[in-house]
Amino acid sequence: MFKLFIAICLKKNYLALIKGKVPAEHGYIDAPIQRDPNSFVKRMVGKEGKASVTEYWRQEYNVQASLIKIRLHTGRTHQIRVHFASLGFPLIGDKMYGEESGLIARQALHCYWLSFYSPFKGENITVSAPLPSDFKNAKDDLLSTKNY
């Protein structure tokens, strides 16, 4: 019951820096996610998985990278990382689903906005977080040249 409450009331928006130019300006990734049979931690897209839906909007891009805004419609472990890697667009710096990057020491993923209903206050609460400097520096470095 608690998971259902969270799924209905909690909304999150992310920014991700991914490798390559994602072709669509807006899209849905509807692909089930399951455990990778060769790893306790890693996940993968697979027909035995649980329903997983990711919506995205391309913000900036060139031939080497895309900045995308993401809204999750489900909340699976590693969902964003798995979905984009499965399409051939791994997150920059994602060692598990892509490769290391000299530009950022972690995956370039940032939850910049979330909103939820507080039953204690009886109102929606919305918070936002600015882009961390390591993410901003990687973005500026990769997207400073528009090589459409």
Model pLDDT, residue 4: 44
pLDDT tens profile 41-99: 999 999 999 999 999 999 999 999 999 999 999 999 999 999 999 999 999 999 999 99
pLDDT tens profile 4-35: 444 457 899 999 999 999 999 999 999 999 99
Model pLDDT, residue 144: 87
- Mean pLDDT value of segment 93-120: 96
Structure tokens at 134: 């390591």
Residues 6+ apart with CB under 8 A from 113: 12, 13, 126, 127, 128, 129
- Mean pLDDT value of segment 94-110: 97
**pTM score:** 0.89
Q: Give kind and range of the element (H or E) at residue 48.
A: none
Model pLDDT, residue 27: 97
Q: Calculate the alpha carbon distances from 101 to 5, 42, 44, 138 in Å.
A: 37, 19, 22, 9
pLDDT tens profile 118-140: 889 999 999 999 999 999 999 99
- Mean pLDDT value of segment 96-120: 95
Q: CA-CA distance, 109 to 129, in Å (whole number)?
A: 12
Distance between start and end Cα atoms, the chain: 47
